[in-house]
Amino acid sequence: MVNYLIKRIIMLFPLLLGITLITFTVIHLAPGEPVEMQTAMSPKVSAASRARLREFYGLDKPLHVQYLRWLGHLAHLDFGRSFAPDNRPVTDKIVERIPITLKLNVIALILEFGLAIPIGILAAVHRDSLLDRGISVFVFVGFAVPTFWLALLCMYIFGVKYSLLPISGLHSLGYERLSAFGRFWDFTKHLILPISIATFGSLAGLSRYMRSTMLEVLSQDYITTARAKGLRERVVIYKHALKNALLPVITLLGFSLPGLIGGSVIFETIFAIPGMGQLFYQGVMARDYPLVMGILVIGACLTLVGNLLADVCYAVADPRIRHGRG
Amino acid sequence: MTLRRLFTLLLVALQLSACGQGASEQKPLSRPKGGAPAYGDALITGSIGEPNTLIPLLASDTSSHEVAGLVYNGLVRYDKNLKLEGDLARSWEVSRDGLTITFHLRPGVKWHDGKDFTSNDVLYTYRVTVDPKTPTAYSEDFKQVKKAEALDRYTFRVTYEKPFAPALASWGIAILPAHLLEGKDITKSPLARSPIGTGPYIFKEWVPGQKLSLEANPAYWEGRPYLDRFVYRIIPDNSTMYMELKAGGIDTMGLSPVQYQRQTNTPEFLARFNKYRYPASAYTYLGYNLRLPLFKDRRVRQAISHAINKEEIIQGVLLGMGQIAHGPYKPGTWAYKPQVADPEYDPAKAQQLLKEAGFVMGSDGILVKDGKPFSFTIMTNQGNDQRMKCAQIIQRRLKRVGIDVKIRVMEWASFLTNFIDKGKFEAVLLGWTIGQDPDLYDVWHSSKTEPKELNFIGFKNAEVDRLLIEGRGTFDQEKRKRCYWGIQDILAQEQPYTFLYVPDALPAVASRFQGIEPAPAGIMHNLIKWYVPKAEQKN
Amino acid sequence: MSEPGRGPFQECWRRFTANRFAVAALCLIVALFVLSLGASLLTPYDPDAIDAWHVLLPPSAAHFFGTDELGRDVFTRVIYGARVSLKVGFVAVGIAVAIGTVVGLISGYYGGWVDTLLMRLVDIMLCFPTFFLILAVIAMLEPSIWYIMVIIGLTGWMGVARLVRAEVLSLKSRDFVSAARVLGASDRRIIFRHILPNALSPVLVSATLGVAGAILTESALSFLGIGVQPPTPSWGNILTSGKDYIEFAWWLSLFPGLAILVTVLSYNLVGEGIRDALDPRKQR
């Protein structure tokens, strides 16, 4: 197990390198030189500070040297300063935005798995029935409806028309004066809409996957044997089949993250949630290169960590990997 | 707000800021309400964008100025009838020759941190503004100053080289606290994120991406504002903001024409909100990059103006709630010349002019000259729905006469730095605020065409240059008027811009707020006198 | 084992048609194609014709779906928008499938360090939140329909690559490939004649789902203002222009919204249908 872990962690490094390389390439597709951007932003930037910037990005050097320099800064977790007029360190800007995006996505992820797995199993067990068809239409509608449209409709219905839920933001105005429970409830109410819409949209992938793995497991010989032995269907399904069907689902955990983070651009813009997605969108539109590069790298690294965790869980759960090829 | 006549409010139509001229047209329709003025409650307003910096000298976006405007004061300000009145200056004297202004400052005013406000603060503000190391768009007016001196603790005097008409108004610039900034690098000051001013509201907190909160200044020299708090919520999507207004999450926002006319006339809405309508102090224009050979030809610019139906734009974009712009001044002001001879809507004339300019109709319905099709891109800023609609209407009209137009929308800051400042554009659809002083040296003088300057279309006209200098070099309004009328005639002929429209500002405010006085200056001028009767207080 | 011939195909088709949802969805998709191709015959209006004096009119006999914020006929724009949205979907997926198939084939067939390298590249690409990448590239270049299609394609090939590789690996060891190799067939011949046709079915499924995804991505980009640019109508940008009037000019968001919903749903159901029809387990 320890060996496996060490191997996995060593494997992270080439991946990390690849992530930075792709980020660097993407940004250098854009026409124009980043420094020109920033100095143009403040017309009277002194020659000295311009030189400092060029130094930081090493812009007089060939591309590969620039890349290595940037990598050097990254190694110290230094993403440079934002090109926005506030000129704050990118790390600060990202760090203040990460918690809310992560919180939202983790809750959505838990809900997604908590709902999609039973739904998938249900569909598999009642394969080709009306229930199965109904479920597939339901989850695909969630996938197919443009999120911002659904979000606005829900905001209108629940927020304006029936005043049941707050429309946007994270806290009500008098938040500071509420009791601990009041605060929790206030925060929860603000999250209901964004999280339910995010979850609804993501059910399809996982539940269909769950359905097909379950079907696959159910067609295996040992299940047939179990049935032949006269075990009750319920026991067969929930005791024997489920355990094996759930295993591959674990690996999906890690891969769900990039989709959710990517989707956060829309959610955070429409629900006025100050997270990483919103920051990224602003950064991209303002051509704030250091910020964009920083978020791309961090976003990808989050996924990497997610994948690693998922794989480790998988290894723990599956003895073949633990002892075998690990 | 003289500051705003410069770079600031190109973005003006994004949130029609509440400065305007001409009386409010629509009397609030709400039920008459009683209730004595009372302290308490909060005004929550929404904004699409987050402020960049709360040091107004360094800011060039609407959001920053809206918030900073409540935290800082200038020496002078415009009152509700757009007359200059004292703010931090109790009074002032202008010398007979107009070259010297002596300000008598209000004694006893304190910064929010408790320190006294003195003439040293004014002197510092002047110095940092003209310091070449300060990245500000507001230094031009202050470069005219020959000498600035603090005569004593509460007397400040400036002397100008030659008569400078906008001199007095320019001192509306926000005065910064010398004791916190002097000797430091202003670009790195913490005041950018937690300002300390002398204004009616004290900065309390800034939750990035969410909101900024200000609290009433109990020691404000004009008296404590009634409303305890001013909250500036950041809501990046327009539709969300409107829903927040209806759900009570914000108390005020500028309505779009569609919202004003078609969505908010229900009894339910009118009971909860008061709507106001008055012409904004701003105009929208289509500007051409005159450095390009294509637009150097005056006939081409005139032809485009002839091909555009401004009536249609006002109807389609503003639902009729605005007026045609013929030049850079607001209809009804003294500098505005009625009936200038600018190109009227006449597509046939447009086609004829284009023919004279050497264009022939190609097989695909697009005009061609020297083998090149007549095609150009109109750039405008993101987040401004009205400009987007306007661009599409123009695109359609120009296609009719054989001009192919592409539209490109860009984020504000990157638009300015990457395209405007580098002259990398063909045509832009933007807006200017119309300042109270008619001096337009920065926008039209041929010396202002360098990168980062405001004559970014590269307009150069010797006669306009002469009139601009003459106009700002005299205090005689009749003389100035002749200059500015002359300029309007030339602009009407030259069409460096196609002036499009002056929109109406359409703010809505929750009806529990009392004491709002619509005036030529709009509604925000007496914010500190707004109140909510005790019985109706919400927050 | 044999290469796919008429028999298995007919068998699949029979199984596909047994799924009524999938058949209905397929009919819808076909209908939509016909509609969008015949757009100019179906409506008397020009999709870009502005009428400033008749903005935001509710549905009527003259305008089935009402008019938009510039007085344009929404019905006309929705059916012309279908062309654009479908084009985005198909071209983007075409690119993704092409890249994915080539990478998957090479990786699976040659194995070794080529395989390792390519699969690490896939791993790396999968780490990025795809929408972030798309957003960054499009906003920094400029939003145009071509960039949008290409970028969606360039960021969407990884799944296909993995599928094809897995299929190739499993096929490579099968008898007919070994037999071909023994008989002296060239690599290219083996890949194109024997492996590719067999690997196509999972790709077909993934492509069908990909079209749906690309249409949604375009609408999300439109919401952020960097989708297909005006005056060209796409479902995404019509829907976006309607979002400001959602509770009063409902027709402006409802029709393009439904168009996206129904189309994406149909592609998904058809994709599912194909998958089930091709699934050998169903034969048991």
List residues in chain C touching B: CB distance below 8 A: 48-50, 52-53, 55-56, 69-71, 142, 225, 229-231, 243-249
Torsion of CA A234, A237, A243, A249, to 10 degrees: -130
Report CB contact under 8 Å: C244, B256: yes
Given a contact cutoff of 8 angstroms between Cβ atoms, the answer to whether C231 and B396 are in contact is: yes
Does A31 fall in a domain?
yes
Instruction: Report the CATH number that the domain containing residue B367 is assigned in CATH.
Output: 3.10.105.10
Q: What is the mean pLDDT of residues B416-429?
A: 87
Nearest one of B132, B157, B133 to B145, comparing CA atoms: B157
At A34, the pLDDT band (50, 70, 90 cuts) reads low
Q: How far apart are CA C284 and CA C280, in angstroms?
A: 8
At residue B61, the pLDDT reads 78
> Do A125 and A40 share a domain, yes or no?
no
Tell me the pLDDT tens digit for each residue of C64-112: 999 999 999 999 999 999 999 999 999 999 999 999 999 999 999 888 9
Does B529 fall in a domain?
no
Give the rounded percent of residues in chain A with a pLDDT score beyond 70.
Answer: 88
At A253, the pLDDT band (50, 70, 90 cuts) reads confident
> Do A16 and A149 share a domain, yes or no?
no
User: Residue B272 pLDDT > 90, yes or no?
Assistant: yes
At residue C6, the pLDDT reads 55
Does A83 fall in a domain?
no
Does A84 fall in a domain?
no
> Do A57 and A104 share a domain, yes or no?
no
> Do A277 and A211 share a domain, yes or no?
yes
Contact of A259 with chain C, judged by CB distance below 8 Å, is answered with yes
Task: List the single residue in B with minimal CA-CA distance to C47.
Answer: B396
Q: Give the end of a domain, one of A75, A109, A124.
A: A75
At residue C281, the pLDDT reads 53
Choose the weakest-confidence range: A31-35, A249-253, A282-286, B413-417: A31-35
At residue A320, the pLDDT reads 65
Q: What is the mean pLDDT of residues B126-136?
A: 90
DSSP-based three-state secondary structure for C240: helix
Given a contact cutoff of 8 angstroms between Cβ atoms, the answer to whether B282 and B430 are in contact is: no
Sign of the alpha-carbon torsion through B277, B279, B280, B283: positive
> Do A141 and A215 share a domain, yes or no?
yes
Chain B interface, mutation test: which of C48, C53, C67, C70, most B Cβ atoms within 10 Å? C70
> Do A171 and A249 share a domain, yes or no?
yes
Report CB contact under 8 Å: A271, B240: yes
Does B96 fall in a domain?
no
Task: List the single residue in A with minimal CA-CA distance to C252.
Answer: A149
Q: Is B423 exposed, middle or buried (0-12, 13-18, 19+ CB in 10 A)?
A: middle
At A59, the pLDDT band (50, 70, 90 cuts) reads low
Instruction: Report the CATH number that the domain containing residue A216 is assigned in CATH.
Output: 1.10.3720.10
Q: What is the mean pLDDT of residues C114-136?
A: 92
Domain extent, residue B444, equals 282-504
Tell me the pLDDT tens digit for each residue of B437-461: 999 998 999 998 887 788 999 999 9
At residue A321, the pLDDT reads 59
Query: What total of structural domains would you count in chain A?
Result: 2
Structural domains in chain C, CATH included, are 8-282 (1.10.3720.10)
Given a contact cutoff of 8 angstroms between Cβ atoms, the answer to whether B485 and B336 are in contact is: no
> Do A208 and A239 share a domain, yes or no?
yes
Report CB contact under 8 Å: C140, A27: yes
Does B514 fall in a domain?
no
Which amino acid does the sequence have at A109?
L
User: Residue A63 pLDDT > 90, yes or no?
Assistant: no
pTM: 0.89
Q: Give the end of a domain, one of A48, A75, A102.
A: A75
Contacting residues for C115 by C-beta, under 8 A, at least 6 apart: C107, C108, C165
Q: How many CB atoms lie within 10 A of CB B500?
A: 25
Does B398 fall in a domain?
yes
Interface of C with A in 105-144 (CB under 8 A): 120-121, 123-133, 135-137, 139-141
Task: Please name the chains neighbouring A, where neighbouring means 3+ C-beta pairs under 8 angstroms.
Answer: B, C
Interface of B with A in 40-69 (CB under 8 A): 42, 44, 52-53, 58-61
At residue B530, the pLDDT reads 96
Given a contact cutoff of 8 angstroms between Cβ atoms, the answer to whether C144 and C229 are in contact is: yes
Tell me the pLDDT tens digit for each residue of B139-193: 888 999 999 999 999 999 999 999 999 999 999 999 999 999 999 999 889 999 9
Contact of B466 with chain A, judged by CB distance below 8 Å, is answered with no
Does B383 fall in a domain?
yes
Does A82 fall in a domain?
no
At residue B26, the pLDDT reads 46
Q: Distance (Å) from the C-alpha of residue C223 to the closest C-alpha of chain A?
A: 8
Q: What is the mean pLDDT of residues B63-79?
A: 94
Find chain A residues with C-beta within 8 A of B243's C-beta.
152, 155-156, 159-160, 167-168
Contact of B11 with chain A, judged by CB distance below 8 Å, is answered with no
> Do A148 and A297 share a domain, yes or no?
yes
Give the rounded percent of residues in chain B with a pLDDT score beyond 70.
Answer: 94
> Do A69 and A132 share a domain, yes or no?
no
The two three-digit tokens of residue C84, written as one number: 């654009």
At residue C280, the pLDDT reads 59
Does B533 fall in a domain?
no
At residue B379, the pLDDT reads 94
Nearest by CB to B234, which of A86, A272, A286? Answer: A272
Does A136 fall in a domain?
yes
Tell me the pLDDT tens digit for each residue of B27-38: 444 444 567 899
> Do A262 and A304 share a domain, yes or no?
yes
Find chain C residues with C-beta within 8 A of A156's C-beta.
246-247
Does B442 fall in a domain?
yes
Query: What total of structural domains would you count in chain B?
Result: 1
Contact of A145 with chain C, judged by CB distance below 8 Å, is answered with yes
DSSP A113-127: HHHHHHHHHHHHHTT
> Do A53 and A183 share a domain, yes or no?
no
Choose the weakest-confidence range: A18-32, B428-442, C122-136: A18-32
At A30, the pLDDT band (50, 70, 90 cuts) reads low
Report CB contact under 8 Å: B392, C71: no
At residue A307, the pLDDT reads 84
Torsion of CA A298, A304, A307, A312, to 10 degrees: -120
Does B61 fall in a domain?
no
Does A111 fall in a domain?
yes
Domain extent, residue A12, equals 2-75
Given a contact cutoff of 8 angstroms between Cβ atoms, the answer to whether B404 and B369 are in contact is: no
Find chain C residues with C-beta within 8 A of B308's C-beta.
none
The two three-digit tokens of residue C68, written as one number: 């938009």
Report CB contact under 8 Å: A274, B53: no
What ipTM describes this predicted complex? 0.89
Tell me the pLDDT tens digit for each residue of B307-338: 999 999 999 999 999 999 999 999 989 999 99
At B260, the pLDDT band (50, 70, 90 cuts) reads very high
Can you give A152-169 as a three-state secondary structure string? HHHHHHHHHHCCCCCCCC
Contact of B134 with chain A, judged by CB distance below 8 Å, is answered with yes
User: Residue B506 pLDDT > 80, yes or no?
Assistant: yes
HSE (side-chain half, CA atoms, 13 Å) at B129: 26
Q: Which long-range contacts (CB under 8 A, 24 or more apart) does C168-176 make?
A: C168/C104, C168/C105, C168/C107, C168/C108, C168/C109, C168/C195, C168/C199, C169/C108, C171/C195, C171/C198, C171/C199, C172/C108, C172/C109, C174/C1, C175/C1, C176/C1, C176/C2, C176/C3
